[in-house]
A and B are shown apart, each in its own frame.
Chain A
Amino acid sequence: MNDTLRQFRDFFVSLRLTVVLLVFGMILVFAATIDQVHLGIWAIQEKWFRSLIVLQEVRGVPVPIFPGGYLIGGLLLINLVAAHIYRFKFTWKKAGIHLTHIGLILLLIGELFTGLWQEDFSMRLVQGQPKNYSESFHDNELAIIDTTDPKFDDVVVIPEPTLARRETIQHGKLPFRIAIKDYYPNSALRNPPEAGAPAIQGLNPTTAPFTTQNGRTVPVVAQAAPMTFKQNERNLPAAYIELIGPDRPVGTWMVNADPRIPAQSFEYGGRTYTIALRFTRAYKPFTLTLLKFSHDRYAGTEIPKNFSSRIKLETPNGRDDREVLIYMNNPLRYDGLTFYQASFEPDNPNVTILQVVRNPSWLFPYIACTMMTLGLLWQFSLHLFAFVARRRLPRPSFA
Chain B
Amino acid sequence: MKKYLSLLALLLAVGYVAGSLRAPKNPGAFDVVGFSKLPVLVNGRIKPIDTVARSSLLQLQGRQTVKTPDERSLQPIEWLLDVVFRPELADTYQTFEIVDPDVLALIDLKAEDGAGEKRFSLKQIQPKIAEVQRQMQLAQPVEPQARSRFQRAIVQLYGNLVHYQRLRHSLVAPNRTDFLGDLLKFQDNVAAGVAAVRAKQANQPHDEAAAKAMTEIGEQFVIMAESTNLLVIPPDADNTDPTAWRPAGGALLETFRTGRVNASALAYAGFAHAWRNDKAEQFNKLIDLFRADLAKRYDVALKKSDIEARFNAAQPFYRSSILYGLALFIALFSWLAWPDTLGRAAFWLVAVAWVLCTAGIATRMWLEGRPPVTNLYSSALFVGWGSVGLCLILEKFFRNAIASVAAGSIGVATLVIAHHLSLSGDTMEMMRAVLDSNFWLATHVIVVTAGYSATFLAGFLAIIYILRGLFTRTLDRGTADALTRMVYGIVCFATLFSFVGTILGGIWADQSWGRFWGWDPKENGALIIVIWNAIILHARWGGMIKQRGLMALAVGGNIATAWSWFGTNMLGVGLHSYGFTDAAFVSLTGFGISQILIIALANIPLSKWRSHATLTERPAASAPRSTPEPVAAK
Give the B-binding residues of A (Cβ under 8 A): 15-16, 18-19, 22-23, 25-26, 29-30, 32-34, 36-37, 40-41, 44-45, 49, 83, 87, 93-94, 97, 110-111, 114, 118, 120, 231, 297-301, 303-307, 328-331, 337-340, 342, 355, 357, 359, 362, 365-366, 369, 372-373, 376-377, 379-380, 383-384, 386-387, 390-391, 395-399
Best-buried of A26, A93, A94, A297 by chain B (most CB within 10 Å): A26
Contact for B520 among A18, A41, A299, CB less than 8 A: A41
Q: Which B residues from 564 to 578 make CB contacts under 8 A with A?
A: 568, 571-574
Contact check, B528 vs A300: say whether CB atoms are below 8 A apart: no
Q: CA A386 – CA B519 in complex, angstroms?
A: 38
Q: Which B residues from 493 to 541 make CB contacts under 8 A with A?
A: 493, 495-496, 499-500, 503, 506-508, 510-521, 524-525, 527-528, 531-532, 534-535, 538-539, 541
Given contacts A307-B433, A380-B496, contact A369 B519 (CB under 8 A): no
Contact check, B534 vs A22: say whether CB atoms are below 8 A apart: yes
Contact check, A300 vs B41: say whether CB atoms are below 8 A apart: yes
Pairs of residues from A and B, 7 with the lowest C-beta to C-beta distance, nearest first = A298-B44, A338-B514, A357-B514, A15-B542, A299-B243, A369-B503, A304-B433
Query: Nearest Cβ distance between residue B273 and chain A, in whole angstroms?
Result: 27
Residues from chain B with Cβ under 8 Å of A87 in the complex = 634
Residues from chain A with Cβ under 8 Å of B495 in the complex = 376, 380
Tell me how many residues of B have a C-beta within 8 Å of chain A: 71
Contact for A303 among B430, B515, B524, CB less than 8 A: B430
Asked if B290 is an interface residue, CB under 8 A from chain A, the answer is no
Residue of A nearest to B43 (CB): A301
Asked if B336 is an interface residue, CB under 8 A from chain A, the answer is no
Residue of B nearest to A397 (CB): B621
Stretch from B30-38, B401-409, B625-633 that touches the partner: B625-633
Contact for A331 among B513, B524, B539, B634, CB less than 8 A: B513
Contact check, B538 vs A18: say whether CB atoms are below 8 A apart: yes
Q: CA A372 – CA B495 in complex, angstroms?
A: 11
Contact check, A340 vs B514: say whether CB atoms are below 8 A apart: yes
Asked if B282 is an interface residue, CB under 8 A from chain A, the answer is no
Residues from chain A with Cβ under 8 Å of B624 in the complex = 396
Residues from chain A with Cβ under 8 Å of B45 in the complex = 298
Residues from chain B with Cβ under 8 Å of A340 in the complex = 512-514
Asked if B432 is an interface residue, CB under 8 A from chain A, the answer is yes
Asked if B42 is an interface residue, CB under 8 A from chain A, the answer is yes
Best-buried of A45, A49, A300 by chain B (most CB within 10 Å): A300
Cβ contacts A to B, 30 pairs, < 8 Å: A15-B542, A19-B542, A32-B519, A33-B524, A34-B571, A36-B573, A41-B574, A83-B632, A114-B517, A118-B515, A301-B44, A303-B429, A304-B432, A305-B433, A329-B436, A329-B512, A337-B514, A340-B512, A355-B513, A359-B514, A365-B516, A365-B517, A372-B503, A373-B499, A377-B496, A383-B628, A384-B489, A387-B489, A390-B623, A399-B621
Residues from chain A with Cβ under 8 Å of B573 in the complex = 36-37, 40-41, 231
Contact check, B514 vs A383: say whether CB atoms are below 8 A apart: no
Asked if B437 is an interface residue, CB under 8 A from chain A, the answer is yes
Residue of A nearest to B568 (CB): A33
Q: CA A360 – CA B542 in complex, angstroms?
A: 37
Contact check, A29 vs B542: say whether CB atoms are below 8 A apart: no
Q: CA A19 – CA B537 in complex, angstroms?
A: 9
Residue of B nearest to A34 (CB): B571
Asked if B600 is an interface residue, CB under 8 A from chain A, the answer is no
- Number of A-B residue pairs having CB atoms within 8 Å of each other in the complex: 190
Query: Nearest Cβ distance between residue A122 and chain B, in whole angstroms?
Result: 12
Residue of A nearest to B563 (CB): A30
Contact check, B520 vs A111: say whether CB atoms are below 8 A apart: no
Given contacts A26-B531, A305-B436, A380-B492, contact A37 B538 (CB under 8 A): no
Query: Nearest Cβ distance between residue B580 and chain A, in whole angstroms?
Result: 13
Contact check, B43 vs A29: say whether CB atoms are below 8 A apart: no
Given A300-B245, A331-B511: 12 more A-B contacts, CB < 8 Å: A33-B521, A94-B631, A299-B242, A300-B43, A300-B231, A305-B44, A328-B436, A330-B512, A331-B513, A357-B514, A379-B492, A383-B628
Query: Nearest Cβ distance between residue B235 and chain A, in whole angstroms?
Result: 10
Best-buried of A298, A372, A384 by chain B (most CB within 10 Å): A298
Query: Nearest Cβ distance between residue B407 and chain A, in whole angstroms?
Result: 20
Q: CA A399 – CA B622 in complex, angstroms?
A: 11
Contact check, A97 vs B631: say whether CB atoms are below 8 A apart: yes
Query: Nearest Cβ distance between residue B394 and chain A, in whole angstroms?
Result: 11
Q: CA A286 – CA B237 in complex, angstroms?
A: 49
Residue of A nearest to B500 (CB): A373
Query: Nearest Cβ distance between residue B447 and chain A, in whole angstroms?
Result: 10
Query: Nearest Cβ distance between residue A103 and chain B, in whole angstroms?
Result: 10
Asked if B284 is an interface residue, CB under 8 A from chain A, the answer is no
Contact for B524 among A29, A40, A118, A396, CB less than 8 A: A29
Residues from chain B with Cβ under 8 Å of A37 in the complex = 571-573
Given contacts A19-B539, A114-B516, A359-B515, contact A376 B496 (CB under 8 A): yes
Query: Nearest Cβ distance between residue B319 and chain A, in whole angstroms?
Result: 31
Residues from chain A with Cβ under 8 Å of B535 in the complex = 19, 22-23, 26
Contact for A328 among B44, B434, B531, B574, CB less than 8 A: B434
Query: Nearest Cβ distance between residue B512 and chain A, in whole angstroms?
Result: 4
Asked if B440 is an interface residue, CB under 8 A from chain A, the answer is yes
Contact check, B518 vs A19: say whether CB atoms are below 8 A apart: no
Residues from chain B with Cβ under 8 Å of A303 in the complex = 43-44, 429-430, 432
Residues from chain A with Cβ under 8 Å of B242 in the complex = 299
Residues from chain A with Cβ under 8 Å of B633 in the complex = 15
Contact for A387 among B434, B485, B520, CB less than 8 A: B485
Given contacts A33-B525, A41-B518, A299-B245, contact A362 B510 (CB under 8 A): yes
Residue of B nearest to A115 (CB): B517
Query: Nearest Cβ distance between residue B541 and chain A, in whole angstroms?
Result: 7
Q: CA A223 – CA B571 in complex, angstroms?
A: 32
Residues from chain B with Cβ under 8 Å of A366 in the complex = 507
Asked if B397 is an interface residue, CB under 8 A from chain A, the answer is yes
Given contacts A18-B538, A19-B542, A37-B573, contact A383 B492 (CB under 8 A): yes
The 0/1 profile, CB within 8 Å of A marked 1, for residues 16-50 of chain B is 00000000000000000000000001111100000
Query: Nearest Cβ distance between residue B5 and chain A, in whole angstroms?
Result: 26
Residues from chain A with Cβ under 8 Å of B432 in the complex = 303-304
Asked if B544 is an interface residue, CB under 8 A from chain A, the answer is yes
Asked if B229 is an interface residue, CB under 8 A from chain A, the answer is yes
Query: Nearest Cβ distance between residue A18 and chain B, in whole angstroms?
Result: 5
Contact check, A329 vs B437: say whether CB atoms are below 8 A apart: yes
Residue of B nearest to A15 (CB): B542
The 0/1 profile, CB within 8 Å of A marked 1, for residues 607-631 of chain B is 0000000000000110110001001
Best-buried of A29, A45, A373, A387 by chain B (most CB within 10 Å): A29
Q: CA A396 – CA B489 in complex, angstroms?
A: 22
Q: CA A97 – CA B243 in complex, angstroms?
A: 54
Q: CA A331 – CA B437 in complex, angstroms?
A: 13
Best-buried of B492, B513, B518 by chain A (most CB within 10 Å): B513
Query: Nearest Cβ distance between residue B538 and chain A, in whole angstroms?
Result: 5
Residue of B nearest to A301 (CB): B44
Residue of B nearest to A41 (CB): B519
Q: CA A366 – CA B517 in complex, angstroms?
A: 12
Contact check, A36 vs B574: say whether CB atoms are below 8 A apart: yes
Query: Nearest Cβ distance between residue A109 and chain B, in whole angstroms?
Result: 13
Q: Which B residues from 218 to 236 make CB contacts under 8 A with A?
A: 229, 231
Contact check, A33 vs B531: say whether CB atoms are below 8 A apart: no
Residues from chain A with Cβ under 8 Å of B521 in the complex = 33, 36
Contact check, B538 vs A44: say whether CB atoms are below 8 A apart: no
Query: Nearest Cβ distance between residue A303 and chain B, in whole angstroms?
Result: 5
Q: CA A16 – CA B541 in complex, angstroms?
A: 10
Query: Nearest Cβ distance between residue B553 and chain A, in whole angstroms?
Result: 10
Q: CA A231 – CA B632 in complex, angstroms?
A: 43
Query: Nearest Cβ distance between residue A183 and chain B, in whole angstroms?
Result: 30
Q: CA A311 – CA B214 in complex, angstroms?
A: 50
Query: Nearest Cβ distance between residue B563 and chain A, in whole angstroms?
Result: 8
Given contacts A18-B538, A22-B538, A329-B511, contact A299 B519 (CB under 8 A): no
Query: Nearest Cβ distance between residue B502 and chain A, in whole angstroms?
Result: 9
Residues from chain A with Cβ under 8 Å of B510 in the complex = 362, 365
